[in-house]
A and B are shown apart, each in its own frame.
Chain A
Amino acid sequence: MRAVMSRVAQSLLVVIVATTLNFALPHLAPGDPVEYLYQGSAGSLTAEQLDDLRAGYGLDASLPEQYVAYWGGLFRGDLGVSVQHNRPVVDVLLERLPWTLLLVGTSTVIAAIVGTLAGAFAAWRRGSRGDVGLVTGVLVVDAMPGFWIGMVLVAVFAVQLGWFPSFGAAALGGPTAGWAAVAAVAHRLVLPMTTLVLATVGGTFLLARGAMSTTLGETWLAMARAKGVPPRRLATHHALRNALLPVATTLGLNVAVMLSGAVVIETVFAYPGLGSLVYDATIARDYPLLRGAFLLVTLGVVATNALVELAYPLLDPRVRRTGRGRS
């Protein structure tokens, strides 16, 4: 129970810091906060109009009052109004969220599975040609910027070969319901997802490879072998099952990496998720939208991290009892 409480406290702390940072940014940045809240066109306004604006945004109140008001707004789901879309930020975000969930969700699952299995395989065959090839490949792919991988994939597989559409998440004017629509969405998901998986799988691979190497050196694995357990069962039931533990603890962190990658990769594919929204907001200097997106992404990362950590005892019996082995 204490572990859970401390985990929740840690998550809350992160959220509070992120929120406070979000609140403070317009005040810390050079220039009048109104500039940031009113899309840089405040210079063309008269002094009275500026005062009206300040009053409208509550900027005439003292900082602590503004801070309290900011939190109040958050609890009411009020993140301000997007300058670019001229709609509440929350509405814009929620509209884009499903696509990012789809892209990041599928990529996280696939990267976790592929990375773990490939890493375990490399460790099992450590030093073999397959291992060396995989490690080299991961090092090289890890050195490439994710968005560049995306651009090259588009150039090759969408433009040159024409196998996949080069942009968007759903075909315009295509089927909107039924399996045809699902197939169309899946078809357009392949390239961005492949890019995101390639750009992020290296960490999981190396971690799984290291964890698997460690378990392969354990006395209990040697004992299982001496019991006559066949190699395949040794690899899966014993070695991989244990190697999963350290890999699982980083799943939550992977989501943060994935979301970072999605920001730039969605842009390349014009995928209508939060990532391309952030890009557009960056270009348009839509400050309220940017702040809202940052807050939403942070909440998502913190929540996933907390969930993954709280679910960890399901995998590891050693921490299943209350408070045992966890700080």
Chain B
Amino acid sequence: MTTATGKIEPGGRARSATPARRPIEADRLGLVGLGLLVALVVIAVAAPLLAPFDPLARVRVPFARPGGGHLLGTDDVGHDLFSVLVYGSRVTLVVGVAAAAVATLLGTTVGLVAGWARGWVDAVAMRAVDVVLSLPFLPLMIVVGVFLGPGLRTEVLVIAAVMWAGPARELRSQVLSVRERDHVQAARSMGASHARVLAQHISPTVVPIVVPQFVLAAKRAILFEAALSFLGLGAASTPSWGTMLSTAQARSAFLTDAWLWWVVPPGIGIAVAVLAFAFLGHGFEERTRVPSRHRGMAARVATSPTSGPAPTTPPSPVVPGQDRGATSISAGRDGRGEDRLVVDRLVVTWPEARDHRAVDEVSLTVAVGEVLGLVGESGAGKSTLAAAMAGLLPARAEIEAGTVWFSGRDLLATAPRARRRLWGDRIAVIPQDAADALDPVHRVGAQVAEAITTHYDRPDEVVRARVTDLLGRVGLDPAHATAWPHELSGGMRQRVVIAMALANDPDLLIADEPTSGLDVVLQAELVDLLASLRAATRLSLVLVTHDLPLVLAMADRVAVMQQGRLVEVGSVATIAHAPRHEHTRALLAAVPRLPRNVVQP
């Protein structure tokens, strides 16, 4: 099982356990960057061959327009601008790379030493980093540069002097984390010298960080070089793109037609050089980044799910699909009441693994007032199925076949707006990590109130009274309504989320591990609360859980899932005492002591 690990959230987000595929675009972008860089290096090296004139020789009248062998005309002295442009690539590359190299080397050294020595050395070094990072870079470079006098060496020095701090901070945190790893600890306890540990164990893990840091530093150094040259702090005798623009500025060339051949080309040169390093850096970054668990989430939440097959038949049948596939198992209704939820031969896949069905031909019913336990191992597809039951499957998930009927309407074919009116009102969800399900910047009471006001236009005092009532029902002091989420314990937050789910007396509640993280007393209270709700409001409850004893205590029927399929559905008594499927037996065997006394069919 590689997809849809046992974790459900209201967004039906099943987290993929497969390693995230590296975006191909990042690699391609890195290659483009490399290509641009190689091209620039070739131009810089072959400048004498490419440039038709000596960039420092007066070859024509000043301010000449392009033509007569001068592709870009001439500058204020009579230099051939095209030749200056070609030679200018040298300064950009040399200063950019040299300054970045010095800055990275300095930063790496400081970071390594600080992270390794810790204590006061680290404190002093990091203070210095903080100070440098909070100074205004360019004014600092200017004031130092003016005192050192213009020139390439000054440029490299001042750029490196302000840019070492970033790499130093990155490197230090890397060293701090690496030095606590087991094999490093072991090497040190075996008496390996500092130098040896640094060389053998620390350095290899640091290199993947140093390289991107260097690339990013080079990118910024090129821009700084351009600005310094523009301000007249570059080498006057060496042609560079920055000084080209500086003279264009001083001679107001950009106020005439000359901007096209004097101003635009060097700017494009600088931008290309910066982009080359930016793309390279992007490529490196994607290569070394830990796969983000949030990648692609945006699309999931942002686009309201509209997937799903077009409505096939009007929502009439109570038991749809009489001829079930050989692999699916009838939900085995016990003939009580009407159905609130009908899942009919549902097939769902995730884009991470299109050939693997997270939910495979599942058919299932939940009657009004019924409690259905949905059990199975992690990754069995419980989460995906639960999300599909709520109509909360994200757009990425593909519903290849099947339908979900909620109170007689085809949930998957319902328009997003209409479906949204059901969520939180008729269909409620308690996510697995409920303690994280509160927005950290809004007060608890306001978030419970939002569940009500989203669906009903009520006066404030009515809403407030309802919030007070709800908090009381989940055993919380109503005074907590004005608390921020971070001021409550995990268990308290979880109860707030339960209160939110119950806010509008839903018809169907899908709860994923609602008791996990609660202590035994609270678990019992919650079970009582759900039982009383069920009696009072004929709530249908789907209990997704690993906790088999809980299911046997609360549920009317149990559905057992394995590898996306429903392998057994039956009453609690049947499942507990006469399980037919071997997987059910295995799950039951895994329960340490089956509390037989609570099983009263």
Known: A123-B298, A140-B271. A302 touches B134 (CB 8 A): yes
Q: What secondary structure prevails in chain B residues at the interface with A?
A: helix
Q: How far is the CA of A257 from the CA of B454 in the complex (A)?
A: 42
Q: Let me know if B484 is at the binding interface, CB within 8 A.
A: yes
Closest to A29 in B: B147
Expressed in whole angstroms, the minimum distance between the Cβ of A169 and any Cβ of chain B is: 18
- Tell me which residues across on chain B come within 8 A of A228, comparing CB atoms: 420-425, 451, 454-455
Residues on A with beta carbons closer than 8 Å to the beta carbon of B133: 253
CB of A83 closer than 8 Å to a CB of B: no
Taken residue by residue from 273 to 312, chain A's Cβ proximity to chain B (1 for < 8 Å, 0 otherwise) reads as 0000011001101010011011001100110010000000
* Contact, CB under 8 Å: B298 / A212: yes
Closest to A319 in B: B486
Instruction: In the complex, identify which listed stretch (B46-54, B289-297, B591-599) lies at the interface while the others stay far away.
Output: B289-297
**Cβ of B302 under 8 Å from chain A:** yes
- A selection of 29 A-B contacts at a CB cut-off of 8 Å is A10-B130, A13-B131, A14-B130, A126-B298, A144-B271, A148-B226, A148-B245, A151-B259, A159-B254, A217-B294, A217-B301, A219-B433, A220-B438, A223-B429, A223-B438, A224-B439, A225-B10, A226-B390, A226-B428, A226-B431, A227-B424, A238-B439, A238-B442, A245-B441, A263-B231, A282-B232, A294-B136, A298-B135, A317-B441
Asked if B436 CB lies within 8 Å of chain A CBs, one says yes
Interface members, chain B 264-318 (any A CB < 8 Å): 264, 266-267, 270-272, 274-275, 278, 293-302, 304
Residues on the B chain within 8 Å of A140, using CB: 271, 275
Given the interface contacts A229-B450, A264-B230, does A221 sit within 8 Å of B143 by beta carbon?
no
Question: With the chains together, A269 CA to B376 CA distance in Å?
Answer: 69
CB atoms of B439 and A220 under 8 A apart: yes
Decide: B298 and A216 in contact? CB cutoff 8 A.
yes
* Distance in Å: Cβ of B174 to nearest Cβ of chain A: 19
State in angstroms the CA–CA spacing of A10 and B266 once bound together: 41
**Contact between B270 and A144, CB atoms less than 8 A apart:** yes
| Set of chain B residues within 8 Å of A134, measured between Cβ atoms | none
A sample of 19 more A-B contacts (CB under 8 A), given A147-B230, A155-B254, is A10-B134, A14-B130, A124-B302, A125-B298, A139-B278, A144-B270, A148-B271, A152-B259, A152-B263, A216-B300, A221-B439, A225-B423, A229-B450, A238-B439, A264-B231, A279-B231, A317-B486, A318-B486, A320-B484
Binds B, one of A20-28, A73-81, A90-98: A20-28
Counting chain B CB atoms within 10 Å of each CB, the highest count among A21, A213, A220, A267 belongs to A220
Is the C-beta of A145 less than 8 angstroms from some C-beta in chain B?
yes
In the A-B complex, the 9 residue pairs with the smallest Cβ-Cβ separation, listed nearest first, are A226-B10, A217-B294, A222-B11, A260-B138, A217-B297, A126-B298, A227-B424, A143-B274, A228-B424
A127 beta carbon closer than 8 Å to chain B: yes
Q: Does A112 contact B (CB under 8 A)?
A: no
Which size bracket describes the interface of B in this complex?
A: 35 or more
Q: With a CB–CB cut-off of 8 A, which chain A residues contact B267?
A: 144-145, 148, 151-152
How far apart are A217's CB and chain B's nearest CB, in angstroms?
3
Most A CB contacts (10 A, CB to CB) among B298, B300, B450 go to B298
| Interchain CB contact under 8 A, B9 and A222 | yes
Range of interface residues on A (Cβ < 8 Å) = 35 or more
Residues of B close to A30: CB separation below 8 A: 149
Tell me if A316 counts as interface (CB < 8 A to partner B): yes
- Among residues of A, the one whose C-beta sits closest to the C-beta of B13 is A222
- Tell me the B residues contacting A by CB distance below 8 Å: 9-11, 13, 127, 130-131, 133-140, 142-144, 146-149, 219, 223, 226-227, 230-233, 242, 245, 248-249, 254-256, 259, 263-264, 266-267, 270-272, 274-275, 278, 293-302, 304, 390, 392, 420-425, 428-429, 431, 433, 436-442, 447, 450-451, 454-455, 484, 486, 497, 500
